[in-house]
Structures are given as structure tokens and as C-alpha cells.
Structure 1
């Protein structure tokens, strides 16, 4: 029980007990939320570990817990990403891993401590939630504005409906909305299929699956395209060598080459897309733990996965507006049903990325979730 009249106290995570409470808080806050998918605890521990996750090589992070009457009622991470400061040329800190009881005092106190922490390190704004950055592989940025009834797709977030109110009442304003599109299979319109095929022939674009036999080289190819494709996008920071190696290692076991097409023009790789089977459909059954029986449950339920998530797509700047994005999407939407994934999510898409949005909508996809990132001057 918490004491409603007790003062909220915020302190950094310093002990194993603190870390355990930081990790386990969502199990209490999301109890009864049928859409919530418990995160895999071993993955979350690895992400938070300053010695193991490469993000910490170029960032300062402080994990904070809020207590009231001895009970943990909230958590937050205060973040200064030095690569963001350098690349975006703005003094912006971040907050992430934000969870709070439905209590303005709890949320405001947590946020104020994070604001003070980033301001002490020279930052002029704070933005979030970011877990840790727009490149993060653990959970997407932002808090949900709608679509609460739908479970999150793999590597996407799910938050409580009262979070936007907590943030706005603490003085935060909209920074950017991120959209999740849903495509109900099994096949895109044939008129579109024929049009894309003609375009592919005219532009002399070759699509091929990811070559797992030369995985390291493929990772370098994707990194080169990704960093050039997203360079001008909101919030983008190039992936470091350590980050791309880490991300590739984490994703390799679940990659399906047919769902990771690479586009080539005159033997030059100019675009790529990556889709993953929605493992959240299986993870929701193991309560965040692989042992002692979670792994067996995971393998059992993984056989029933019927959806995939397109989590990234990139084109080199000189090859945009050629329809290559439509070719990549279409290839995934055609291969997905053949592999047992007739449905899919495409996320996240910036609200003002009209070129990508129009392409998805032509294929019959529709927005079914909106995530909002907030910011505040400090």
C-alpha cells in the first residue's frame, strides 16, 4: 500500500534491490491491462547495463526511482546522448523508461529531477520518452495517444492512457507524433502490384533477400544506407559501429531473409527494408522470464505468430521518388503471407513523412496507433 499523503521521494538506482524494483514496477502498473506485453527481463537488464550496452559508450544515464510511503510508485531515466548533441547541434537531454502511478505529484517530481539532472550537464531542453534514442531496439519512443486496445508489436511500446495528461500537466508540449500503420492481409491490390512491377522494370531495380551467408557484409551495407537515408530526419543520430554490431547480433536469430529485401540499381545497394515476425505474440505468454519454462512456452506459441512488423526502411538520397520504397514494401507484403504472416504493422512513421505515408495508404494500410514524444525547456 502507498500512503496518499506521504511526500514523493526520488533517488538514483544504486543497489541490486533498487534495480530489481526499477525492472519490476511495470508488472504492478499494468496489472489487468490485457494489451500489455511483459518485457523480457534478461533483455531489459542488458539494455540498462552500462558495461554491456554500447549506447553507454557515448551517453550519460541516471536511473531514478520514486517512492511514496516506502512503496515504489514511479521510475525514469535521465539521459544525455553526446552523439545527439554533436550531430543535431542542439543541447537537448532526454528522459526514458518512464512509468508512473496515476498521480500528478509522482510524475511531476520524477520529471523535475530528470530536468535538473540534464540541465546540470548543460542541456537546455528535455525530450521523451526515449528508450534510449530513436535508434533504440528495446522499445519505441513516445507514449500512446490511441490504440490502447491493441497489443504492441515487437520492439514497440505500450503505455497507460493517463500518461499524456501527466506530461502535459507537468509543462510538456508536443515534439513529434509517430504513427503505426496496420495492413490487413493477405494480398495488396493487384492494380498496385502490376504498377509496381512495371516501375521496377523501368527503373531497372533488382530486389534480393538478405544474404545470411555474408551477414557481416550485409550489416555494413545496411548501415551505410541507413545512416545516409535518415540523416536529415527528426531526431536522427548515426549508429556507431558498436551499436550496429550489437543490434545485428540481437536481431540475427529472428531475421527472415525474405522479409529483409535489399534494392540494387546497377549492382549498387540503394535501399533496404527489415521486417520481423511479431514475437510479442509469443512473449506475452511467458511473463518476462525464459526460465524455467518460459523458453518452452515461447517456442510453442511462436508457431502461431500470424503477423510481422516492418520496423525500418531506408533509401539513399539519390534514389528517392523512384518508387523503390513501394517495391520494398510490396515484396514484404507478398512474402509475409507465404511465410505465415498475412497481417502486419509498419512502424514507426514520422507524422510528416508524407511520401512514406502515401505509399503505405495506397497499399491499403491505415493508422491505428499514434505515439507522441514530448519536450520542455529546462
Structure 2
């Protein structure tokens, strides 16, 4: 007999965070999230998301054993921006059982309708600024940093409940020596042209991180496509995300375009520390996880190209190519073995074609789903 409970205690929250470790215990591609990071993300008062929005966590039990989890998410900032009544689901994990999946989704939908919402989308873990999407193609390896992972049976489970495609997301892969470095060769000429417009390309100044962070935030909130429901981050949300990333940031992979002291574009790649996290049992930093993280950081030989944005009025000037070229230069100089560019919208040819022209191979796809409630 299956039952659903609402998560309301620290012990239940720990069980919610730990469930995927047990579910995917025999999956060699599964990467455990760090417990402390997940705990803070899911605890009201710890993360600035809760200053404007709400979530409710649910666990499914069968004969006293956890068999599934889900989060219902009311992102009020999203609904203000889009004048919508959208709810979201995230943190979805479930055994391969349709009845359990039905119960989990029903619990989330009931909570969302109680908030006056009329549609549910997901999976998104808070918003598209965080991990989102369901893996639908490319199950042959572990995910890279901050990308989702799930077994193939999740999609049919959700489709049988009535979910349909919202949008597909792409991930491209580059491997060392197997990409077109033409953009690198063009950098000098492009930068000369940009400099005539007082635009310079430079690395982030880590000694002035606070001011750099604030300047990048303005670009981040202006540069992103709204096709997938992008919502600008609040100052506190962006600072929270930036301070997390700072812990692993390599300044050679954070490149800014600046005009007369104003940041107009930036590109960011982060080391794929999932190479280390996959070895950290149940995401616990203690007693040995922290040592693995600290000693393994220098050995990471892959990156995720996470962000590349240029504000309106500065696009198609060659800034994007210069930013990407600098990332490729650092990739080669540091003898990295692979890079993933993710994610991009499936239909966004303006972004996808240049990635393919440089030699990016489409190797994974993700999907967000939607359903009227």
C-alpha cells in the first residue's frame, strides 16, 4: 500500500535528499548531489528563493520504504513576469511504478491548484536558473556539473499521466583536438575591430569579485532568452549563485566584454567537478568527501560551458565569437579533454549553428514537460 507524506521535519528532509542515492545505487552514471548544498537549497530561510516563492516536498512510501519524491513549486516571480498561473514540479525521483508516479504528481498538483495555479511544468528545480529538464537522449555517461540525470523510464511514467513536451534542450560536446579552432584564429582581428568601439575582452578580476559580480548580474538578467520562461534573478539569488560558483571558478574560464567600464557580455565555463562528486558517497563531505573534493579539483580535465550572454545592442558584433574563442584558448592551454556546452534551446539556430560550426557534437537532449491542471 502506497502513501504520500508532506515533508515537514529535518529527518524527513534528509530522507528526501538521500532517496536518489538508494534508487540509483547500482547505476554507474549516477552522481550524488552534495548533501549540504541540497539541504540549504531545500530549507526555507537558507536560500533567497523563499523570500518570494514557496515549495512543498512530498515523499511516497510503500510498506514503510521510500519509493518516490517530488517538489511542488510556486514561483511567484515567474508568474508576475509572464502574467501566468504556472506551477512547477522538480526533484522528481521514482521507482519504475506507474501508481507511485501518479500519486506523487497528484499530490503536487493538488498543492499547486490550492495556490490558484492552472498549469504545471517541469522538471525544474526552482526555476530555469537552476537544474532543469528530463534526460531523454544520451544515457551513456554521467552528467556534467549542474545537469540533470535520470533513467529512461521517467519520460513514459510522466507521459502516461498526461504530460506533453514543452521544449527540448540540447547539450553539445567538444573533445580535445576534435574541434574547429577557427574562432581562435580570428580573435585578434575581431578584438581589433571591437577596440575601435572601445570594447575590450578580459578575464574576471577575482580581487574585485564583489563589483565584478554586480556588473555581471546586470548582463545576466538582460541577456537571456525568455523562450523557456527565464525570470531575472533577484540580487540575493544571483549573489547566492555567484558565491557558490566562486568556490570552483577558474578566472581563465570567466571572460568579460567591457565598453568604457560597463560589462556588455560574458562567458563562463566551470570545471566539471562531477568527476569528483561521483566518488563522494551519498554526497557527504565528511569524513572523507572534503578531502576528495580538495585533492581532486586540480585533476579535473573537463569543463561545462555554462553561460554566454551579450546584451541587446551589442549582439552580432563578434563579441560572442571572441568570448567563445577565449574559452577555447584556455581549454587547449590547460590540456582539457572535453567540454560540454549546455544547455541550449532545441530550436535556437542562432546559438546552435555556431556551436556546431566550431565542432560541437549534439550528444544529449533534455525535455521540459507541461500539463493543464
Q: TM-score, normalised by structure 2?
A: 0.95
In the other structure, the counterpart of 2:156 is: 165
Contact 2:178–2:359 (8 Å) recurs in 1: no
Q: Does 1:215 align with 2:209?
A: yes
Equivalences for 1:134-283 in 2 at 5 Å?
A: 134-136=128-130, 140-186=131-177, 188-204=179-195, 205-230=199-224, 232-283=226-277
1:54 equivalent in alignment to 2:45: no
Which residue number in structure 1 is paired with residue 334 of structure 2?
Answer: 339
Out of 351, 374, 377, the position equivalent to 2:369 is 374
Question: Matches of 1:180 and 1:210 in 2, distance apart?
Answer: 25
Can you list the C-alpha shifts for 1:233-256, whole angstroms capped at 9, x where unaligned? 421111101101111211112111
1:123 deviates by 0.7
Which sits farther off after the overlay, 197-206 or 245-254? Answer: 197-206
> Which segment drifts farther, 293-302 or 92-101?
293-302
Alignment equivalent of 2:357, drawn from 358, 362, 378: 362
CA distance in 1, matches of 2:167, 2:27: 26
Runs of 4+ residues deviating >3 angstroms? 265-268
Are 2:126 and 1:132 equivalent residues in the alignment?
A: yes
Please say if 1:319 is aligned against 2:343: no
| Alignment match, 1:3 | none
Could you say which residue in structure 2 is the equivalent of 1:119? Answer: 113
Q: For the residues of structure 2 that align with 1:327 and 1:342, how far apart are their CA atoms? A: 21
Aligned length: 369
Mean Cα displacement is larger for which, 200-209 or 318-327? Answer: 200-209
Which of 332, 348, 355 pairs up with 1:353?
A: 348
Asked whether the equivalents of residues 171 and 341 of structure 2 are also in contact (C-alpha less than 8 Å), the reply is yes
Deviation at 1:116, TM superposition (A): 1.4
Cα drift, residue 333 of structure 1: 1.2
Distance 1:190 1:41, change over 3 A: closer
TM-score, normalising length: structure 1: 0.94
The Cα offsets for residues 13-70 of structure 1, whole Å up to 9 and x where unpaired, read as 1223322221111012112111111111111101101110111111111000111122
Is structure 2 residue 279 aligned with structure 1 residue 285? yes
Q: Give the conservation status (yes or no) of the 8 Å contact 2:128–2:228.
A: no
Q: 1:163, 1:231 → 2: CA distance?
A: 27
Whether the 8 Å CA contact 2:31–2:143 is kept in 1: the answer is: yes
Q: Report the Cα offset of residue 190 of structure 1.
A: 4.5
Partner of residue 64 from structure 1, selected from 58, 68, 93: 58
Segments of structure 1 that go 5 or more residues without pairing to the other structure are 1-5
**Separation of aligned partners in 1, 2:4 and 2:164:** 23
Asked if structure 2 preserves the Cα contact closer than 8 Å seen for 1:229 and 1:317, the reply is yes
Judge which range, 328-337 or 295-304, deviates more.
295-304
Residues 89-126 of structure 1 deviation map (CA, whole Å, 9 limit, x = unaligned): 11100001000000011111110111111111111100
Q: Are the aligned partners of 1:187 and 1:334 in contact in 2 as well (CA < 8 Å)? A: no
Greater displacement, 38-47 / 178-187: 178-187
Compute the displacement of 1:266 (Å).
4.8
Indicate if the aligned counterparts of 2:194 and 2:200 stay in contact, CA closer than 8 A.
no
1:174·1:374 contact (CA, 8 Å) conserved in 2?
Answer: yes
Secondary structure, aligned partner of 2:232? coil
Give 5+ residue unaligned stretches, structure 2: none
Residue 309 of structure 1: which of 293, 299, 304 is its match? 304
* Contact 1:66/1:74, CA 8 A, preserved across alignment: yes
- How large is the Cα RMSD of the aligned pairs? 1.5
SS in 2 for 1:352: coil
Residues of 2 paired with 1:176 and 1:242: CA distance? 28
Q: Tell me the equivalent position of 1:21.
A: 15
Q: Is the contact made by 1:285 and 1:298 (CA closer than 8 Å) also made in structure 2?
A: no
